[in-house]
Chains A and B, each alone.
Chain A
């Protein structure tokens, strides 16, 4: 499965921030860690801020801090802020109403179902724990 860059950056950012919830991270620091432009990352952090997953800390040494409950935030929730990975093709997509389109659509829907259930069942806390276990 491939996620868009912004989605992946958002996941990295919430993982990094939720792992050290007391700490503030500057955009520059995160950009360097994940090897992307500050501009790109700032945009991602704004979206995460609007969703109240992170908050901007003002003043000198300001930056971003995790502001949600890592035991309750799932990967699916973060992903859904950036892209819809499991939406069926709209009725106007070419071919979807044909025999072939329907047959393929059923298989893809099966896969989406599993993806949604999996991503919706893994919280940030679970993810951190699994990385420690390995």
Chain B
């Protein structure tokens, strides 16, 4: 039996304005909505010179197959700043091959280099896939609980 094709090597790099179309498509594949204006703003804010904000993409054979974005956040509740992940997304055809892990590790390395000692995120309770992924990276419940109220 022939061995399975080895996966192409993954490169993680900072996002560029030219990545907009792929990012919009990757997001739309998950959310069902194309939001070019939103992602253009995010690329401008997170892939620019601000050292506290990060927008990284993963490339396989020259194709962008995933992205992650986050920032270093000062916490309002008297705790020291920490890394915060806003979103992670890997193309359906490239999943379960370590791309998400590479993106997570890359953003964490930036956070560590910037001097923060932990990373946080918020996940929908009814999204087991994303929750399993972050758990597999060693994330556990943190000291905060999110509360909300429906306004009249």
Which residues on A are within 8 Å of B, measured CB to CB? Answer: 74, 113-114, 117-118, 120-123, 125-126, 129-130, 133
Q: In the complex, which residues of chain A have a beta carbon less than 8 angstroms from the beta carbon of B135?
A: 121-123, 126
Q: In the complex, which residues of chain B have a beta carbon less than 8 angstroms from the beta carbon of A121?
A: 128, 131-132, 135
The contact size tier of chain B is 10 to 19
Can you list 9 A-B pairs with a CB-CB distance of less than 8 A?
A: A113-B125, A121-B128, A121-B131, A121-B132, A122-B132, A123-B135, A125-B136, A130-B138, A133-B138
Task: Knowing A113-B125, A120-B128, A121-B131, say if A126 contacts B136 (CB, 8 Å).
Answer: yes
Which residues on B are within 8 Å of A, measured CB to CB? Answer: 125-126, 128, 131-132, 135-136, 138, 140-141
Give Cα distance in the complex from A122 to B136, angstroms.
8
Q: In the complex, which residues of chain B have a beta carbon less than 8 angstroms from the beta carbon of A122?
A: 132, 135
Q: In the complex, which residues of chain B have a beta carbon less than 8 angstroms from the beta carbon of A113?
A: 125
Interface of A is mostly: helix
The answer on a CB contact under 8 Å between B132 and A117 is no
Give Cα distance in the complex from A123 to B132, angstroms.
7
A107 to chain B, nearest CB (A): 13
The answer on a CB contact under 8 Å between B132 and A126 is yes
A110 to chain B, nearest CB (A): 10
